[in-house]
Amino acid sequence: MSNVIGIDTGGTLTKLAYLDEQNELKLELFPSNDMELVKEWLVRHPQVEEIGLTGGRTEQLRDVLKTMKSIEYIVEFEATLKGVRYLLEKDGHYIDSCIITNIGTGTSIHHMFNNDHVRIVGTGIGGGTLIGLSALMTGIGDFNEIRTLAAKGNRAEIDLLVKDIYQGMETPISGDLTASNFGKVGITEHVNHNKEDILATIQGLVGEVITTLSIQIAEEKKAQNIVYIGSTLTNNEHLKKVIANYTILKKRTPIFLQDCGFSGAVGALLNISKYNKHE
């Protein structure tokens, strides 16, 4: 493997990226609340000389690593954008302008245009919200369990759709749009909902809030493509479907990256000057 790696240490997960001898991208994942695991990984990989580092938990990781390795820090949004450009090409998307929505623990939305980018807005609704609401409402706080069960759930008895309100009338907007996430619960007789349905509805809430915001920004910036990234999308076909359906309904093009959670780590890797010189 190369002697340089990139690390993005986020609110929930710490992502690590490097290139192997074949120049193929290799990725590793650690929980951010156990930084010792990163240190152990580095002890097992003594060839690593330099780390490109980014993310909100950078200082905590520095404390754990002490002066073990040379570190080149890059601001999170810069790293994310560098990584997105690389991963877009890797997946065969050749675009130079888009909205980038990063669904991490929280969510932030950026506008990428030509060689520039700017962060537009953020929301506290993100992957952390998905885990938190799921844990509180169903007792399930494990991401993989949540995404698996949500895919088997049905939102129809919990969400209130526009057509549920406009009964027997023509609807002013598409009747299949959500009028109120979880809105049916308060206006129907008490029913016990199963965990799958509740989890699917939570994913609906999180996905729709984030997509609504992203579409608004896309309209404002006249951008056709919205690239959705962040580990909340990892193997999460149900959430991707919520996001894709709504984005398409609003006549924008959703793009999902294969290595959706690793933009920051890849960007931090690409930022290392030594690595750049090798290029």
Residues acting as catalytic residues:
76
Answer yes or no whether residue 207 interacts with ligand ATP by CB under 6 A: no
> C-alpha angle with apex 217: 213 to 218, nearest 5 degrees?
115
Cα 70 to chain center, whole Å?
A: 28
Binding segment for ligand ATP among 8-16, 18-26, 114-122, 193-201 (CB under 6 A)? 8-16
Comparison of 12 and 181: residue with beta carbon closer to ligand ATP: 12
Q: Which 22-61 positions form the footprint of ligand ATP (CB under 6 A)?
A: 32, 56
What is the identity of the amino acid at 141? G
Q: Six-digit token pair at 89?
A: 């090409």
Whose CB is nearest to Mg ion? 10
Answer yes or no whether residue 104 interacts with Mg ion by CB under 5 A: yes
Q: Where are the beta strands (DSSP E) in the chain?
A: 4-9, 13-19, 25-31, 50-54, 70-73, 97-103, 107-113, 116-123, 160-161, 178-180, 225-229, 253-256
d(CA 122, CA 110): 9
10, 106, 128, 153: which one contacts Mg ion (CB under 5 A)? 10
Comparison of 10 and 254: residue with beta carbon closer to ligand ATP: 10
Comparison of 52 and 106: residue with beta carbon closer to ligand ATP: 106
Q: How far is the CB of 236 from ligand ATP (least distance, A)?
A: 8
Q: Which 113-142 positions form the footprint of ligand ATP (CB under 6 A)?
A: 127-128, 130-131
Strand, coil or helix: 249: helix
Q: Six-digit token pair at 95?
A: 């675009």
Instruction: Summarize as ranges the residues that interact with ligand ATP (CB under 6 A).
Output: 10-13, 32, 56, 104-106, 127-128, 130-131, 143, 230-232, 234, 261
